[in-house]
Chain A
Amino acid sequence: MSAQLVTELTILVLAIFLGFEVISKVPAMLHTPLMSGTNAIHGIVIVGAILVAGTADNTLTRVAGFFAVLLATANAVGGFVVTDRMLEMFKKRPSRSSGDAGGAGPEGTV
């Protein structure tokens, strides 16, 4: 077992515990945006895609690399935009009392 592998396994284990910890207290209302947000984060494969596409030396790897970059980019970009759209609706809500200036509707634009 190489030193590099040991380091990689160490950060793997730490990442697992960290992943559990940071979302242990998410309210049910945010389950879907969180799912969407983590979906965007695993778009990080774009890094791997660029690396393999940038070192491609035959047709197979060039084609595979091209599509890998395309798909990974769609994942990352689409993921963050979709999540943002979902979260746009979770603005602080004014109370419904009439005459309250804030009660005119969601602040800013929809």
Chain B
Amino acid sequence: MSETTSNFLYIATIVAFILALRFLSSPRRARLGNQIGAVGMAIAVAVTLAREGLSITWWMIGALVVGAAVGVVGARRVQMTAMPQMVALFNGVGGGAAALIALSEFDRLAPLPGRVSGSQTAGILISALIGSISFSGSLVAFGKLQELVSGQPVVYPGQRVGNALVLAAALALAVAAVSTEEIWLLAGLIVIALLFGILLVLPIGGADMPVVISFLNAGTGVAAAATGFALHVPVLIVSGMLVGASGTLLTLMMSRAMNRSLGNVLFGAFGLVPEGAAADATADGRSARATTPDDVAVMLAYARRVVFVPGYGLAVAQAQHDLARLGEMLEERGVDVKYGIHPVAGRMPGHMNVLLAEANVPYDELYEMERVNPELPQTDVAVVVGANDVVNPSARNQPGSPIYGMPIIDVDRTSSVVVIKRSLSPGFAGIDNPLFYEPNTVMLFADAKQALENLMAAVKSV
């Protein structure tokens, strides 16, 4: 197949990807959109393999097979709660692929002075730089979500300057590589860019990882578009930039949902009050009051309005069905039950909606944060199930806190708060939660599933 013919057939792939993006924006056809995208990708692969002038070796077949196997196994075996880190991982390897493509293409073109156009060179440098940053940055993001790396922002003196220097070194290597056409300088660029990727993501708190992953995702899209310039392949340019542009917009939308600017998310940790000071200020001399399922059952059964605020703990305990059943039981007793969903509750936007939907909670009982907050002052009991940072009043009251400025669910404005939590350990942001020490808050220390089962039994006998 000639280059022209394959470019013609790639149009089908482009159409498929555009449809995929459109359909992915609405719940009705989202799944179909993804399937269409997959077909478009398959077409692109088949067309490429049929290109004239390529030697399809057993090694290449092996790479395709192993890559596909890794993709399928990794994607299918991971738990729903670990979805975001898998997205990070797959994004990272995509970036790595772009950097390796740049390296190979540079090697092929570099010894031919005058034959390499400026745009090809630019494409090579950009995909090497951004692809590498995305690769290592995504691995760090994976580590933070998987809790292999500290979820706390890793901050040290001189960090900003250090990072800027590393980036400057990368750019210097880029210039050097182009002028001398030495492949080892490009390899050096890749290594420095890998380092920069690590340094970029390390100071960002674990709770912000979804935004970071979206950002790196957009970056990999740009890297893919850059490889399109290096190789003169239009489908790479278009598809890559579709992801780059949509990914950038999505990243801005996600950080706005947390009421923070992207700059604040990426660079906000610098110059923070050290964790210790903020934590001590709240735990000083106060203790959290523990309660029992029976006491809570009485509170709930005789309340008029109850709001449940689910969080990651609910997902981990897979207790969404128990929560839904408890809600039903209370409704049978005439209690008004609502579920307050924070946009970043769980580990990714929409996580809680998906879980509660799986448990057949009707849509009209799920209240987004902006809708539920005005209801809370008239609510009798707020039950926080495995959520922590999204109900932490420090976001409102403590300017030094890492989560300051993030909009929260104002459970501290209800008459009574019950927090179901295994222990007083910090949530994802790694900070203490003054809510636990408030006078009208009680703690039910238990695993979410256990606690909800006990509560249901207790409510039955009230």
Chain A residues with a Cβ under 8 A of chain B: 2, 4-5, 7-8, 11-12, 14-20, 22-58, 60-62, 64-90, 93-96, 103, 105-106, 110
B63 touches A53 (CB 8 A): yes
- Is B83 a contact of A72 with CB atoms below 8 Å? no
A53 partner residues in chain B, CB cutoff 8 A = 57, 59-60, 63, 104
Chain B residues whose CB sits within 8 angstroms of the CB of A54 once the complex forms: 51, 53-56, 60
A82 to B68, CA, bound (A): 13
Closest to B86 in A: A82
Q: Please tell me which one of the listed residues B57, B234, B245, B363 contacts residue A93 in the complex, with CB atoms under 8 A apart.
A: B363
Closest CB-CB distance, A57 to chain B, in whole Å? 8
Number of B positions contacting A (CB below 8 A): 118
From A15, A29, A37, A78, B86 is in contact (CB under 8 Å) with A78
B90 touching A78, Cβ below 8 Å:
yes
Task: With both chains docked as a complex, state the minimum distance between the C-beta of A88 and any C-beta of chain B, in angstroms.
Answer: 7
Known interface pairs A32-B84, A60-B183, A93-B360. Does A24 touch B108 (Cβ–Cβ under 8 Å)?
no
B277 interfacial by beta-carbon distance below 8 Å:
no
Chain B contact residues, majority secondary structure: helix
Cα–Cα, bound, A38→B221 (Å): 8
Is the Cβ of A73 less than 8 Å from the Cβ of B241?
no
Q: List 19 A–B pairs whose Cβ atoms lie within 8 Å, in order of A's numbering.
A: A16-B241, A20-B245, A25-B25, A26-B24, A28-B350, A28-B368, A34-B250, A35-B87, A39-B243, A40-B90, A41-B242, A42-B239, A45-B94, A46-B41, A55-B108, A73-B71, A90-B30, A90-B31, A93-B357
B228 CB within 8 Å of chain A: yes
B76 within 8 A of A: yes
Known contacts A50-B45, A96-B362; is-contact A40 B38 (Cβ 8 Å) = yes
B71's contact among A44, A77, A89, by CB below 8 Å, is which? Answer: A77
Binding site for A on B (CB under 8 A): 10, 13, 17-18, 20-22, 24-27, 30-31, 33-35, 37-38, 41, 44-45, 48-49, 51, 53-57, 59-60, 62-64, 66-68, 70-72, 74-76, 78, 80, 83-84, 86-87, 89-91, 93-94, 96-98, 100-101, 103-105, 107-108, 117, 119, 183, 210, 213-214, 217-218, 220-221, 223-225, 227-247, 249-250, 253-254, 257, 328, 343, 348-351, 353-354, 357-358, 360-363, 368
Is the CB–CB distance between A79 and B90 below 8 Å? Answer: yes
* Cα separation A22 to B343 with both chains bound (whole Å): 22
**Which residue of B20, B107, B218 is within 8 Å of A37 (Cβ)?**
B20
Partner pick for B83 among A43, A44, A86, CB 8 A cutoff: A86
Q: How far is the CA of A14 from the CA of B87 in the complex (A)?
A: 27
Closest chain A residue to B219, Cβ basis: A42
Q: Among the listed A14, A38, A48, A74, which residue makes an inter-chain contact with B217, where contact means beta carbons less than 8 Å apart?
A: A38
Contact B237 A12 (CB under 8 A): yes
Check if A45 sits within 8 Å of B97, measured CB to CB: yes
Known interface pairs A85-B83, A87-B30; A16-B63 also in contact (CB < 8 Å): no
CA distance A59 to B214 in the complex (A): 35
Residues A45 and B246 in contact, CB atoms below 8 Å apart: no
